[in-house]
Structure 1
Amino acid sequence: MATNKHIESGILELYIAGALSEKENEQVYRLIIEHPEILEEVKEIEKSISTLISNVAPKNTKSFFKDILIKILQEKEDSKKVIAIKTSKKKWITYTGWAASFIIGSTLIISLNKNANLQGQIDTINEAKEQYEIKLEETNYNLAENKKLLAVIRNKDIITVPLQGQNVYPEAYAKVYWNKNTKNIYLDVQGLPNPPKGKVYQVWSLKLNPLTPTSLGTLDNFAINENKVFTINNPNDSQAFGITLEPAGGSETPTLEQLYTLGAV
């Protein structure tokens, strides 16, 4: 597989060590995003390097460099100690090896930090992708609901009843789509303002002679309903529909002083 070829090529180790060109870094970065197995291999390489650095580095860095300094001063003050100087050369080889390991380790740590930032970027991208998928799902759901509503209001059996604004709020308007076969109405209240706190809109089915109101319920989720269309069961032989503003929980009879819209069938 192509992924195995990249893993075995050694390019991932060079990527972590910061030894690739900018173009090569971009290519490896795309491979990491596209292939989870390559990302896992990068993590394993970083883990191995971290273990190597911790094993090679001297345990007490302060004491290590302090001992080197003391040894240098002692050798300068006593130039006759040739044997000690020869011995010190051996130690200098060890010190030099440790110092080289320390320098290489520092470079690798910087590289690891860069790759940690890369992982953070990947996590951010994945999180943004998840949010996008959630938003897309919501959009698809709303689209399906809108298509369903459009099919309902285009039904040949639908009776359309416009509701006009009344004295309390002349600018108000609403519309009832009534299907007598299903005994449902689809109430579009886009033309109503948000109700004040502690108040709720209540829908009424009316008989006109004598005037007899029957409550069809309250629009409790008015503020969070984005398309402002409510499906309401209506088994009544309605001659008109009205909407009033009532205290939260609704009223037994409509408050006519707060009649917002009214329309006859």
Structure 2
Amino acid sequence: MTSKEYIESGVLELYVFGKLSETENGEVQQMIADHPAVKQEVVAIEDAVINLSQSVAPRLSAINYQKIRNQILEKRKVIDMKSKSSWASYTGWAAAAVFVVGFGLQYNKLNETNQVIDKLDTEKSVMQESIVDLEFKKNEAENVLAIVRDNNNQAVALAGQTVAPDSYAKAYYNKVTKEVYVDVAGLPTPPKGKVYQVWALKLSPLTPTSIGVLDNFTAANTKVFKVDNAEDAEAFGITLEPAGGSLSPTLEQLYTLGKV
């Protein structure tokens, strides 16, 4: 609403006569502070009221009435709305600010603490995994040593053949229990889609029997595998076969061979 519209609304007359609520008075006082034309109109209305009062007050002498009128005019002023302030309010805001800052610091410290705890938990998990891994490798190494040191196990050297002359392996054959372990650390990693297959052989007539497919060659750490038992084996050989193994050895892919 413009100052002109406000003046023409009749609100200022009600303000001068004290007929507005406290909230409405506050709105008028704000308009007076913001618009000189509104302030000027209020002064004009008050002058009109005073002049009207003079005409309806015949019992007062002209001198006494003029004195009263002058006192009213001298004391009349438009009230400016000012925000109140007190030490209590300042201290209240200060306390609130201290609380917010303190809360922020505590929150940051809590985050830092949680991050440290998370880091320690991660390090603990990694350490536990390392311990488990070391324990597993330790057990594997102990098993291998037990195989090598068992006097009942006969070590059979398997030499490299034409297809892979640099390859080598070793079979540990227990003639009492018929258990067989093979150490294939001297074989190259098989190509994708291929696996090593271990054969127990009887020489006369030549009869190969599959005693194991090494399909987890890459994952094994020690490259020592327990395969199936072998009854009265006279030799051992290892061939490279398609994934899943073959019913009979592919002699063109014979990597190692050794006689018991």
TM-score (norm: length of structure 2) = 0.65
Partner of 1:77: none
Among 207, 216, 232, the alignment partner of 1:212 is 207
Q: 1:167 to 1:235 in 2, by over 3 A?
A: closer
Among 100, 114, 121, the alignment partner of 1:119 is 114
Which letter maps to 2:138?
A: L
Q: 1:81 to 1:196 in 2, by over 3 A?
A: farther
Give the secondary structure class of the aligned counterpart of 2:184. Answer: strand
Among 83, 88, 94, the alignment partner of 2:84 is 88
Partner Cα distance (2:104, 2:92) in 1: 18
Among 134, 137, 155, the alignment partner of 2:132 is 137
Among 215, 227, 233, the alignment partner of 1:238 is 233
Partner Cα distance (1:100, 1:246) in 2: 81
Counterpart check, 1:223 vs 2:218: yes
Which letter maps to 1:155?
A: D
Alignment of 1:154-173 (within 5 A): 154-173=149-168
Structure with greater helix share of residues: 1
Among 95, 98, 111, the alignment partner of 2:93 is 98
Spell out, residue by residue over 1:202-259, the C-alpha distance to the aligned partner (whole angstroms, 9 max, x if none). 1001111221111112101101011100011223211110000001111111111100
Deviation at 1:144, TM superposition (A): 2.0
% identical aligned pairs: 48
Partner Cα distance (1:257, 1:222) in 2: 21
Moved more, 205-214 or 254-263: 205-214
Partner Cα distance (1:244, 1:257) in 2: 8
Spell out, residue by residue over 1:158-214, the C-alpha distance to the aligned partner (whole angstroms, 9 max, x if none). 101000111111111000111122211110000011111111111001111221111
Which letter maps to 1:245?
A: L
Counterpart check, 1:250 vs 2:255: no
Q: 1:81 to 1:192 in 2, by over 3 A?
A: farther
Q: Provide structure 1 residue ranges, at least 5 long, that are not aligned to the other structure.
A: 1-70, 75-79
Partner Cα distance (2:143, 2:78) in 1: 98
Partner of 1:11: none
Among 161, 182, 189, the alignment partner of 1:187 is 182
Q: Provide structure 2 residue ranges, at least 5 long, that are not aligned to the other structure.
A: 1-29, 34-76
Among 172, 194, 215, the alignment partner of 1:199 is 194
Partner Cα distance (2:230, 2:173) in 1: 11
Q: 1:250 to 1:83 in 2, by over 3 A?
A: same
Partner of 1:58: none
Deviation at 1:82, TM superposition (A): 10
Deviation at 1:104, TM superposition (A): 3.7
Partner Cα distance (2:78, 2:213) in 1: 102
Partner Cα distance (2:80, 2:85) in 1: 10
Partner Cα distance (2:127, 2:221) in 1: 20
Partner Cα distance (1:235, 1:264) in 2: 14
Which letter maps to 1:143?
A: K
Partner Cα distance (1:200, 1:137) in 2: 29
Give the secondary structure class of the aligned counterpart of 2:222. Answer: coil
TM-score (norm: length of structure 1) = 0.64
Equivalent residues of 2:157, 2:258 under 8 A apart: yes
Give the secondary structure class of the aligned counterpart of 1:205. Answer: strand
